[in-house]
Amino acid sequence: MASAPKEEETRLLASRPPLDSDESDEERAYDSDEKIAISISDEDEYAAAEAAGSVPPFSWRKLWRFTGPGFLMCIAFLDPGNLEGDLQSGAIAGYSLLWLLLWATVMGLLIQLLSARLGVATGRHLAELCREEYPTWARVALWLMAELALIGADIQEVIGSAIAIKILSGGFIPLWGGVIITALDCFIFLFLENYGVRKLEAFFGVLVATMAVSFAIMFGETKPSGKELLIGVIVPKLSSKTIRQAVGVVGCIIMPHNVFLHSALVQSRKIDTSKKSRVQEAMNYYSIESAIALAVSFFINICVTTVFAKGFYGTQVASTIGLENAGQFLQEKYGAMLFPILYIWGVGLLASGQSSTITGTYAGQFIMGGFLNLRLKKWVRSLITRSFAIVPTIIVALFFDTEDATMDILNESLNVLQSVQIPFALIPLLTLVSKEQVMGAFRIGPITKVVTWIVVAFLIIINGYLLLDFFTAEIRGALLESFVGAALVVYVAFVIYLILRGSALFSRLALAARKNFSSSSN
Say what the alpha-carbon torsion angle 449, 455, 457, 462 is, to the nearest 10 degrees.
-170
- CA separation for the pair 329, 335 (Å, rounded): 10
Mapped onto helix, strand or coil, the DSSP state of residue 342 is helix
**Model confidence at 22, in pLDDT bands (50, 70, 90)?**
very low
- Total residues belonging to the chain: 522
- CA separation for the pair 425, 439 (Å, rounded): 18
pLDDT number for residue 44: 60
Task: Give Cα 65 distance to the centre of its chain.
Answer: 22
Q: What is the mean pLDDT of residues 294-315?
A: 93
Amino acid identity of residue 88, one-letter, is: Q
Q: In this model, does residue 413 exceed pLDDT 50?
A: yes
Please say whether the beta carbons of 407 and 400 come within 8 A: yes
Contacts of 175 (CB under 8 A, 6+ apart): 159, 162, 163, 166, 397, 400, 401
Nearest to 145 by CA among 517, 489, 424: 424
Q: In this model, does residue 156 exceed pLDDT 50?
A: yes
Where is pLDDT greater, at 14 or 100? 100
The dihedrals phi and psi of 84, each to the nearest 5 degrees, come to: -65, -40
**Model confidence at 459, in pLDDT bands (50, 70, 90)?**
confident
Q: What is the pLDDT of residues 307-320, one digit of tens each?
A: 999 989 988 888 88
Q: In this model, does residue 211 exceed pLDDT 50?
A: yes
HEC string of 18-36 equals CCCCCCCCCCCCCCHHHCE
Question: Helices then strands (H, E): number in the chain?
Answer: 22, 0
Nearest to 38 by CA among 19, 13, 54, 23: 19
**H-type helices in 34-125, by residue range?**
43-52, 60-66, 69-73, 80-93, 98-122
Q: Which of 228-237, 296-305, 361-370 is the least confident region?
A: 361-370
Q: What is the mean pLDDT of residues 399-413?
A: 61
Nearest to 430 by CA among 113, 33, 144, 148: 113
Q: What is the pLDDT of residues 40-69, one digit of tens each?
A: 555 666 666 666 667 778 888 899 999 999
The superfamily CATH assigns to domain 56-404 is Hydantoin permease (1.10.4160.10)
Burial code (b: 16+ CB inside 10 Å, e: under 16) for 341-362 equals bbbbbbbbbbbbbbbbbbbbbb
pLDDT number for residue 196: 79
- CA separation for the pair 498, 495 (Å, rounded): 5
pLDDT number for residue 14: 44
CA angle 334, 340, 342 (to 5 degrees): 75
- The rounded percent of the chain whose pLDDT value lies above 70 is 79
Question: In the chain, where are the structural domains located?
Answer: 56-404
Percent of residues in the chain assigned helix, strand, coil, to nearest 5: 80, 0, 20
- CA separation for the pair 415, 79 (Å, rounded): 12
Q: In this model, does residue 430 exceed pLDDT 90?
A: yes
- CA separation for the pair 145, 423 (Å, rounded): 10
- CA separation for the pair 98, 104 (Å, rounded): 10
pLDDT number for residue 17: 47
pLDDT number for residue 147: 87
- CA separation for the pair 162, 402 (Å, rounded): 13
Where is pLDDT greater, at 135 or 54? 135
Q: What is the pLDDT of residues 67-76, one digit of tens each?
A: 999 999 999 9
Q: How far apart are the first and last CA of the chain?
A: 10
CA angle 163, 167, 170 (to 5 degrees): 140
- CA separation for the pair 119, 218 (Å, rounded): 38
Amino acid identity of residue 508, one-letter, is: R
pTM here is 0.85
Phi-psi region of 123 (alpha: psi -120 to 50; beta: other; left: phi over 0): left
Q: What is the mean pLDDT of residues 135-145?
A: 92
Which of the listed ranges 2-16, 141-155, 385-399 does the model predict with the highest average pLDDT?
141-155
